[in-house]
Each structure stands twice: as C-alpha cells, then as structure tokens.
Chain A
Amino acid sequence: MALNPEFVGRSYAPTGSYVVGREKLREFATAIGDGSPAYHDVAAARALGYADLVAPPTFAVVMSMQASRAVIHDPELGLDYSRVVHGEQRFAYARPIVAGDELVVTTTIESIRSAAGNDMITTRGDIATLEGEHVATAYSLIVSRGADEATS
C-alpha cells in the first residue's frame, strides 16, 4: 500500500524531554563494547574539554527512535510496522551530547517514496536543548517491505 505523499513535511512535536544521565551513557557504551575513557570517566571527558561524559556518536538514536515511533505508529499514515526495516541512518552534530543535557526531539517527515513495491520514508529528528540550542539532527530511512517482497 503506497503511503500518502501529503504527509511529507508533517512534524510531530516533542512529547517530553530526555535527560542524558551518566549511568545511561556508561551502560550504552558498555553495550557497544566501547571502553573509551570519555564515555566512562568524567575526569577524562573534562580533560578533552567537555562538561561531562560524552555520548557515543550513535547514542542519539535512543531518543530519536523513541520520537519517531509517533510517525511509525501514526494510524493516519498507515505504515505496517511488522514489515518495517531500517534502511539508512545519518547523524549531524552541532556539538556532542553530554551527560546532563536535557533534550527534546521534533520529528519531521522529509520524504515518502515507493520503489519496487516498498514504501520508503525519511524522517528528520531535530534534537535541541530546552533552551532551543540545536545539538544534533538524526536522519532515518525506514522501509516498509511490500507484501510480496522476500526478506533478505
């Protein structure tokens, strides 16, 4: 089922803020097998010039994915979640996320297209502080596989 192209440009306001905690950053860094001191040791992060522990470059997905659920589960959009796979991901950083940040994500549908029976939707998650400082942008391409498409 082709998705309605009129949804391009639709924005989903933040539903709440995300407070970046030290222990969450340590847990995430451990889960990706990365013992880099800037993720675990506050003194090491400060020696690099940061206010607190630094988030790994892909950590923003924790909050951007949470926010993009509003899109994926928007009943009016009609995406079949059981057939959704992650096609592409990109992050652009104005500055690294650090422990203590309180962030909000605004998700916007950038594009919708269909190819080979698959629906492809690109979302942009704008991540900012409560004060409105732009911190990062997360772009995701999600693909809803057509019913007749075999899974690779």
Chain B
Amino acid sequence: MTVARGGVEVGTELPAQSFTVRRVDLIRYAGASGDFNPIHWNERFATSVGLSDVIAHGMLTMAEVIRVVTDWTGDPGSVVEYGVRFTRPVVVPDDDAGAVIDVTAKVTAVHEDGTVQVAITASSGGATVLGKAHAVVRLPA
C-alpha cells in the first residue's frame, strides 16, 4: 500500500508511532552498524564520561523515527532527504521497559516536482530528543 500525492496537503498528519528501545536493541544495533562506542552498552564507561546511564545510538533513534514516514509512504525508497539534529540523548535503563520514543510528523510543504516535505518530532519521557528533524519524500502521482 503506497500513499499518492493526491489528498496530501500542507498540514496532513502522518500516523504517530512509538518505539521501544531496550538494552538488547542497542547491542543488536551496535553489531549491525559497527558502532561499538561503549557509551551505548557499558554503564560503567557511560557514567565515567559524565552520562547518567547508557544512551541509545543517535543513529538508532534516527533509524526508528523515519519509520513514521516510510510506513506512511509504503515505499522506503521514496525518501530523498532525511536530516536530524541530536539535541538530547535517549537514556536506556537496564530494565525490561527500556526507553520509549514518541514520534509525530506532518506535511509542511508540497512541491511541484512531486516531493513533499515532512516535519518530524521525537521525544522520550516527554523531552524532545531530535531537533530540526525533517524528510523529503517523492510520492507517486
């Protein structure tokens, strides 16, 4: 199922989603991405460099968040641009609940070349974790 350009306008809201990140997800992402920075899996190291606890890879948060857009378009290849600013770390406690990232998105521009711009918000525990998060996607006519 893919969304088409017709019916999409400035202000169109994408279905919001929430993503849970647990310690095991950080281990799995470290392995898949090759980013083994110990602040993402070693509490002893994380606290030694001044963090309150282990934090999620910014790139894992970025990867989860864009799903609000790719699930909406139904075609992950539709993303022509995606950018974020990492404003606050996602702290992942060593428990079964983990951290939850809440994501919303809405269309902020519809361009004549068939692309639309989407503004994205992401927060964890009520605090914003990404700034200036945005995507540009190409939608079929």
Contacts and interface: CB of A to CB of B under 8 A. Distances in A.
Interface of A: 24, 27-28, 30-34, 36, 38-39, 48-50, 54, 56-58, 61-62, 65-66, 82, 85-93, 95-96, 139, 141, 150-152
Contacts of B62: 58, 89
Interface stretch (B5-13, B25-33, B105-113, B118-126): B25-33
A88 B75 CA distance: 25
The interface residues of chain B, by DSSP majority, are classed as mixed
20 contacts: A24-B32, A28-B32, A28-B33, A31-B31, A31-B60, A54-B77, A57-B135, A58-B59, A58-B62, A65-B35, A66-B34, A82-B49, A86-B58, A91-B81, A92-B81, A93-B79, A95-B77, A151-B51, A152-B88, A152-B89
Contacts of B76: 36, 38-39, 54, 56-57, 96
Interface of B: 2, 19, 25, 28-29, 31-35, 49-51, 58-60, 62-64, 66-67, 70-71, 75-77, 79-86, 88-89, 132, 135
Contacts of B84: 88-90
Given A31-B33, A56-B76, A151-B51, A93 B59 contact: no
